[in-house]
Amino acid sequence: MGKPGKNDFDTIIEENYPRLHRSVSAYLAGSSVEPDDILQETFLKAWKNISGFQGGSGIYTWLYSIARNLCIDEFRKRKHEKNISNKPVEEFELAWDQFSGEDNREEILLLRKAISQLPELLRTIVVLKSIDGLTYPEIEEITGVNQQTLKNRMFRARKELADILKNMGVDQS
Amino acid sequence: MKRTELEIRITDASDGILAPEELRQLEADLQAFPDLMADYHAIMKLPDIEPVYPKPNNAVFAARIAEIRNQISENEELSTNSPVFYELSLVWFKRYALAASLMVVALTSVFSLLQPGPEYLDSTVMMDELFYPAEESAADVYVTYLDEFTLD
């Protein structure tokens, strides 16, 4: 697809909503911000500003940048809601979850909780790289951070994740 | 070798992009940094987190997608039915409001920095002369004027 216009928007929503919802859900896990609200605002904002989309970056990374900025704005508005780590693991369950067993469910929810405890800068990279499967150049487009720094942050994120899981008593052997 | 370079290579290793030979070289280099070696082992043991968030079925979001489409249609109608209002409120205002407010601030600062006008200077000089007269005769007039009032 070349540079899309407003007429292409139906297809853009159809193709990107589920993937974006999954990523934003992972990014917002544990917070009280609703992914559905963020995505609704994201697509409306994207529709209004589609003429400003340069077409050089992918439409998905452009949409993700809008969604991430909206999330950060929301976090700023809700500064008082800091302690997301105390939420019980059950609250990390999603509407479309299908677990194969109780052990599997428990482990997945603990992993989600561990990811949610990472600082925003590190969580963004983990979600984009390990969950969404974006490349470092694509993550650079979204965050504006160069690839060397991103890899360095990825090291810190994984190190911190390993520590969190160890403290939670999750067996990593 | 610097720690930061090793950290980046550990990331490459955990991303699975290092060849076996490069992996062996990394482990050899890490011998000089026991703490990084421990981090390397902990990171390599991390479970794959990609399946932690399953890929949802598109049908799950059909209602939400329809809702967004409706909102976009409403916005589209608004912008086609009243283009003048739309342009004025969303485009024009956003574009020029900041420029206009900056201009007001700049103009106010310029006016406040301007020297006082000649009328102001004249009246100030007259008052100064009245109290601290430069000529003797003027002081006499002032004293006479005061005497007239106090004697009454």
> Higher pLDDT residue, B147 or A148?
A148
What parts of chain B have a pLDDT lower than 50? none
**Closest in B14, B53, B90 to A131, CB measured:** B53
A6-168, superfamily in CATH? PhyR, sigma-like (SL) domain (1.20.140.160)
Same domain, B107 and B125: no
A vs B, Cβ pairs < 8 A, gives 116
- List chain B residues with CB under 8 Å of A38: none
Domain residue extents for chain A: 6-168
Instruction: Write out the DSSP string of B73-142.
Output: HHHHHHHHH-HHHHIIIIIIHHHHHHHHHHHHHHHHHHHHHSPPPHHHHHHHHHHHHHHS-SSHHHHHHH
Sign of CA dihedral B67, B69, B70, B71: positive
Instruction: Please give the pLDDT value at position B127.
Output: 63
CB distance from B42 to chain A under 8 Å?
yes
Instruction: Please give the pLDDT value at position B117.
Output: 61
Contact assessment for residue A96 and residue A40, using Cβ atoms and an 8 Å cutoff:
no
pLDDT in tens, A72-116: 999 888 876 654 556 777 677 777 677 666 668 888 888 999 999
Instruction: Please give the pLDDT value at position A40.
Output: 94
- List chain B residues with CB under 8 Å of A130: 48-50
Q: To the nearest whole percent, how much of chain A has pLDDT over 90?
A: 54
**Residue A125: its H or E element:** helix A120-126
Domains of chain B: total: 3
Contact assessment for residue B45 and residue A173, using Cβ atoms and an 8 Å cutoff:
yes
Same domain, B70 and B96: yes
pLDDT in tens, A13-37: 999 999 999 999 999 988 888 999 9
CB distance from B102 to chain A under 8 Å?
no
Can you tell me the mean pLDDT for A126-153? 94
Domain housing B75: 58-113
Instruction: Please give the pLDDT value at position B74.
Output: 86
Same domain, B103 and B62: yes
Same domain, B42 and B71: no
Instruction: Please give the pLDDT value at position A148.
Output: 94
CA distances from A45 to A67, B7, B87, B147 (A): 9, 38, 16, 81
Torsion angles phi and psi, residue A3, rounded to 5: -75, 115
Same domain, B48 and B92: no
ipTM of the complex: 0.84
Q: Give the residue from chain A lying closest to B54, CA to CA.
A: A97
Contact assessment for residue B33 and residue A155, using Cβ atoms and an 8 Å cutoff:
no
Instruction: Please give the pLDDT value at position B75.
Output: 82
Q: To the nearest whole percent, how much of chain A has pLDDT over 70?
A: 86
Contact assessment for residue A160 and residue A116, using Cβ atoms and an 8 Å cutoff:
no
Same domain, B101 and B144: no
Same domain, B15 and B36: yes
Give residue A66's pLDDT band: very low, low, confident or very high (50, 70, 90): very high
Same domain, B67 and B107: yes
What predicted TM-score, i.e. pTM, was given to this entire model?
0.71
Contact assessment for residue A43 and residue A67, using Cβ atoms and an 8 Å cutoff:
no
Contact assessment for residue B10 and residue B36, using Cβ atoms and an 8 Å cutoff:
yes
Same domain, B62 and B108: yes
> Higher pLDDT residue, A82 or A55?
A55
Sequence-distant (6+) residues with CB within 8 A of B4 are A152
